[in-house]
A and B are shown apart, each in its own frame.
Chain A
């Protein structure tokens, strides 16, 4: 598994990403190009989630089956969200 140093470095990155997300809003990007800013913020969230899952939950070092397990759940939730929202557009 990873060293404490790596864990600390990841912590700093997570911290920075969270700040960046708010910065995107505070600097007014959300008002100017909503969907671009939206994409950036969501991507940042996914990156953070990946890092936490990969290192803090050490999925990186586990058998892939655990990652697939969680991805299946995510996929089910996404299918529900996307299809349901699409059905009323």
Chain B
């Protein structure tokens, strides 16, 4: 139905027959997933209906209609759909837990759930919504839309993208399983120490939930590296950073925050897992273990607030522009504000700890930074509001949702200022004020993302949703939302996470419960609408929205596998698709008209020239031969699931006796084999990803994709080790710095290891030099030497540890030994990983590899030297000082 608000008449005419044909095939595929189930399990829809147009250029990629496609696909659009559908499944999961809580709160006191079950519902609801729903939902869009918006054929590392998804799916499954292992985690989504230790939450399921989160963080890290490489390196000509569409901008900043924030969470979770599995004593350490967790968690946790909110902001900006028919007011300042927020987000975390024993100076400092971070948001809100002026505003479903989201966000923002005043925060801490505030902000964000779902639904499926039902959904949603969360402000004196509250507040809580069900029911409408529209919806055409600008609307709905009919370029100021030969003209730097490009274009020409020369051509010929299918990401996901499920049975450095222990030990073994084998398979597989030359690559011009990726990964590893070292410093300060004796009595074994690592670094350099000179013998000898030195390092460390163990100094002995063994142990794991890669490379080098192209050795070297550098700090910190 074409309602008046939907000016789709002007664009449907432009459609080509191709879309229709694509669209109808897509319908089958979509059905599998639109109802929220796992695409993986519903095999009844496995009707390979499509004639194989996709298979032809897909390089072994099954057609769209089949389930098999979604198991092996590495295409960003398919992965995006997988993310969106899986995230919606977790929305239902987390939503049901929330409804259980609301039912419990219908009256004060015990009800539906036991106390333990209630705490689990509270904790897992929080974890799911923050981790397994919000970010992945946004990243479904990011996967689908960002490459289209920046003019890339796919992400830089398509298989890693699929791997991110499968690790995410595996982690979610693991979380679900945790409920069946005694009980799942019940310590709140903030997982405060020491409640998160086995002493207080002894159930195996608690460990599983924490390991699930660990796996999720690994998935995020892989994904961050991938997105950053893609977004920085692979933009269309003329699309400088300043010119990026706003949704892409928000994703770019989100991913940057993710890279660093999640590295800190990874450290926290590794330490927590070690405390739970190996018996280290970081968080049970009396003088500061609890605070250490709070610092690590909130250092991640505050950026996380923006990580989940930024994509929503991007959706708001895009839809405000499209549906008001106005360009964003003060776009430059809007972007500047976001950059500022992203930077500042790492300097506000202690405002979550105002009531702890941190000192007044720090409180004051963090109060100031907190106010500082609220101001850019004011600017962004005003910018969105002013964009409406002189607009031609059409109240279609996507805009209703994002408009509503802005209203909710304003309420959330104002109530947040209350919390910024420390004196008020003292009272609001731990009450429903906080609950109401962050739900207004975060679920406000969800509101915008739902708007995004309606906005991009026609692009993704090729069908138009039912506008009337969409509007009804919005009405029910908005009423339900406010009915649910606004009473929480009125009942703010209720302590958080309790089911017993003052009876006088019962009416408010009952209103909230009613609101929760209205909100929940409104989603049924959405699911019905979106599912039914797959079959009965009108053809959407390339661009159903008037005044949309971004590149995804210039291609068919859904876009073909290779996205664009040519090479996208903004040379003329708006998008054009160039033919291959036109590109080569750019590539060789002969574009005569380069001078008249929009800003940035001139730089492009020279970038291209440098980019081209060192070696893109060497990897693949041209983009045509790209692959879109690999089974290994799925296999690694399965392996990781089994491995961690097995590891969850491990406690206090051993498996339990009896059947359970054997079972868990067996799972661990099988999982390790599966993961290792699939990783090997992934390495062995020949896979061609998208290759250059690319249009804009600032600021990583001339640094090839893989190399950029390696460096970005190393930057996150810096934060990981930084957080480990930071934890050590914190603990040592808490205990008194000077009175602390290093665990090894003698620095000599450490010094020997320093020598060994330094020498091995040198030999990697020699290997690279030899490869450059084309000396096979030199490469093999230097790599062999590196491996020998690395093994020597591990042996020496092994002997040293053995001696310490004999003296009775174990990981669990005290916090001194815990920090020593765990930090140097993490480093040793890095060494082992490096050795595995080196041995793999050595076997290839004996067959003459790397002589033509020494870059793999160089990249391995980057990692190996980094591991060396880390040791240069660990050695004095843990052996001398």
Contact = CB atoms under 8 A, between A and B. Distances in A.
Direct contact of A and B (CB under 8 A): yes
Interface of A: 4, 7-8, 11, 14-15, 18-19, 21-22, 24-26, 30, 34, 38, 41-42, 44-45, 48-49, 52-53, 56-57, 62-63, 65-66, 69-70, 72-74, 76-81, 83-89
A80 B716 CA distance: 14
Interface in B697-751: 699-703, 711-712, 714-719, 721-723, 725-726, 729-730, 733-734, 738, 747-748, 751
A53 B881 contact: no
Interface stretch (B329-337, B449-457, B869-877): B869-877
Given A34-B738, A69-B711, A70-B714, A11 B759 contact: yes
Nearest to B717: A73
Nearest to A56: B865
11 contacts: A4-B766, A38-B881, A41-B880, A48-B869, A49-B869, A73-B715, A73-B716, A73-B717, A76-B719, A86-B359, A86-B361
A29 to B, nearest CB: 11
Most buried by B among A30, A52, A88: A88
B703 A66 contact: yes
Interface of B: 260, 263-264, 288, 291-292, 295-296, 299, 346-347, 350, 353, 357-359, 361-362, 699-703, 711-712, 714-719, 721-723, 725-726, 729-730, 733-734, 738, 747-748, 751, 754-755, 758-759, 761-762, 764-766, 769, 861-862, 865-866, 868-869, 872-873, 875-876, 880-881
B734 A7 contact: no
B765 A21 contact: no
B370 to A, nearest CB: 14
A61 to B, nearest CB: 11
Contact of B733 (A41, A79, A85): A85
A52 B866 CA distance: 8
Contact of B869 (A41, A53, A79): A53
A57 to B, nearest CB: 5
Given A52-B872, A70-B715, A80 B726 contact: yes
Contacts of A83: 347, 350, 362
Contacts of B702: 63
A8 B782 CA distance: 14
Contact of A52 (B299, B759, B868): B868
A88 B861 contact: no
Contacts of B721: 77
A69 B712 contact: yes
B861 A56 contact: yes
A27 to B, nearest CB: 12
A66 B734 CA distance: 35
A73 B751 contact: no
A88 B288 contact: yes
Contacts of B755: 15, 18
A76 B722 contact: yes
A42 B168 CA distance: 40
Given A22-B747, A41-B880, A87 B350 contact: yes
B876 A21 contact: yes
B715 to A, nearest CB: 4
A22 B769 CA distance: 31
Contact of B295 (A45, A66, A69, A84): A84
A85 B881 contact: no
B859 to A, nearest CB: 10
Given A70-B711, A73-B260, A85 B730 contact: yes
B723 A77 contact: yes
B106 to A, nearest CB: 41
Contacts of A18: 751, 754-755, 758, 872, 875
B749 to A, nearest CB: 11
Nearest to B259: A73
B362 A86 contact: yes
A79 B346 contact: yes
Given A14-B758, A18-B758, A87-B362, A81 B701 contact: no
Contacts of A63: 699-703
Nearest to B356: A87
B726 A41 contact: no
Most buried by B among A11, A19, A21: A21
Contact of B730 (A52, A62, A76, A81): A81
Contacts of A62: 703
B358 A87 contact: yes
A30 to B, nearest CB: 7
Contacts of A49: 869, 872-873
A49 B718 CA distance: 12
Nearest to B264: A80
Given A22-B747, A52-B865, A85-B730, A66 B711 contact: yes
B789 to A, nearest CB: 12
A88 B751 CA distance: 33
A56 B765 contact: yes
Contacts of B754: 18
Contacts of A57: 861-862, 865-866
A10 to B, nearest CB: 8
Most buried by A among B288, B711, B751, B872: B872
Contact of A88 (B296, B358, B711, B738): B358
B769 A7 contact: yes
Contacts of B769: 4, 7
A79 to B, nearest CB: 6
A19 B762 contact: no
Contacts of A38: 881
Contacts of A70: 711, 714-715, 718
Contacts of A72: 260, 715
Nearest to B699: A65
Contacts of A7: 762, 765-766, 769
B362 A25 contact: no
A22 B751 contact: yes
Contacts of A86: 359, 361-362
Contact of A42 (B701, B726, B738, B876): B876
Q: Which 4 A-B pairs have the closest CB atoms?
A: A77-B722, A81-B726, A73-B718, A65-B699
B618 to A, nearest CB: 19
A36 to B, nearest CB: 12
A38 B765 CA distance: 31
Contacts of B260: 72-73, 76
Given A73-B715, A74-B718, A88 B734 contact: yes
Given A11-B758, A65-B700, A22 B718 contact: no
